[in-house]
Amino acid sequence: MIDETNLLAAVCGDRGNYEQIIRIGVSPGDFSDAGRCVFDAAVEQYRRDPELRAIQEDVLRNQVVRRFGRGSMADSVMDFVAGFPREVSAINVLEEYRLLRLGRTSTTLATLLATGQHGDETQSLLAKYQILLEGSGGAEEKTRLTAEDFEDEDGARVPLSPPLLNTFIGGGVLRGHNITVYGRPDSGKSLFALNQAAVACKNGFRVLYVANEEPAHDITLRLLARLACVDVMKLRNRDVIIQALDKAGKAYDNWNLLHRAGCTARDISQAAARIRPDIIVVDQLKNLSCSADNRALQLDVLARQVREIGIEHNAVTMSVTQAGDSASGKLVLEMNDVEWSNTGIPGAADLMIGVGLNDEFLAEDKRYLSIPKNKVNGKHGGLHVWIDPQRTAVLSKRRVK
């Protein structure tokens, strides 16, 4: 239990501390009656005067008297205030309070998720958990867009590949859109993501590709196969690789690979700040490091973090994740086929693309792309596509070999 006098001293002594506490949230149960009275009075002062930097004690006394009248209760509250420490480490007090709230929220969330509760209460707690996990700091938000924030939408769209999919969603996605690609193991999820990255590079978009499931060498060769239109099995000696790099040309300059064990959302954000990508691809979400208590909560938190990175850095984000056993042998995938997360991952996505296949499609190098969620243009359904594993390609039509 945190010492409320230290917390209230920090809040009353500096508006910045108050704003940080408001951001991470306050539990009424953390205060005594006197403490709650002081906190409510502080909130009232700060809200009435946006320029106020610290609580005025004489005004606080008037607030207390107005609430309780003159007498022992008002005197008791002011004696409580008089006992506040004159010097307090606000950073340490706020951090301890954040960690206290984080532990409580984590326990409650774990219980809700373990019992299959994914309703509004869980979503609200998940959003609060994300704030608590990140800490109390935060950039000042822009509260009103101006004409300079808008551009011609058609020119701003980032096209997806293959063209059949791009047409289905209305001509591409906008920066800030978050895409989830999911499917069973070996269904072609990474192939889909690499194909999208390669086509984006060809179209002049800068790509940050986050991966550690495959060796960096293999990922790069698969990308080169798509950029240079050469079978990956031919990229086995240095001379052929040099030729492929030459053929890829400027498109390869748009490729940036973040290949790191234990990679975190913070690592991605730092790389994005340096590279300034148009598209960020995370392959796979489950391989990112996160301090949440259980697998379901980790994936939900990571999905939200990736979405927020895209918004912060004005980029399209694409996360690859697994589908559960319910998707085995299915062509058409639903939102609830996402492994471990029926709520958090779908909730963070603007566009969901399920990669489905059965034995027939597997034999013919076909895949069925399901679109169970689409906030881009609202169209749901699916489409057949063909894959070319040797060239890391997803195609609207079968490649003639």
Instruction: Write the single-letter amino acid at 346.
Output: P
Select from 381, 371, 396 the least CA-distant residue to 199. 396
Joined tokens for residue 283: 């392959």
pLDDT value of residue 150: 64
Compute the distance between CA of residue 263 and CA of residue 199 in angstroms, rounded to an integer.
25
pLDDT value of residue 95: 85
* DSSP letter assigned to residue 142: P
Three-state DSSP class for residue 400? coil
Per-block average pLDDT, block size 10, for the chain (401 residues)? 83 88 77 90 89 90 89 89 86 84 84 78 77 59 65 75 96 95 96 97 96 91 96 94 95 95 89 93 92 80 91 94 95 93 85 97 96 96 96 89 61
Q: Are 126 and 304 in contact (CB under 8 A)?
A: yes
pLDDT value of residue 136: 46
Kindly give, in sequence order, each residue whose CB lies less than 8 Å from that of residue 304, ignoring residues fewer than 6 positions away. 126, 127, 130, 344, 348
């958990």: which residue's tokens? 129
pLDDT value of residue 120: 72
Compute the distance between CA of residue 99 and CA of residue 120 in angstroms, rounded to an integer.
24
Compute the distance between CA of residue 237 and CA of residue 243 in angstroms, rounded to an integer.
10
* Neighbour count for residue 48 (Cβ, 10 Å): 9
Compute the distance between CA of residue 144 and CA of residue 398 in angstroms, rounded to an integer.
48
Compute the distance between CA of residue 102 and CA of residue 125 in angstroms, rounded to an integer.
11
Buried b / exposed e across 131-140, counting CB within 10 Å, b at 16+?
bbbbebeeee
pLDDT value of residue 31: 86
pLDDT value of residue 141: 52
Compute the distance between CA of residue 160 and CA of residue 189 in angstroms, rounded to an integer.
14
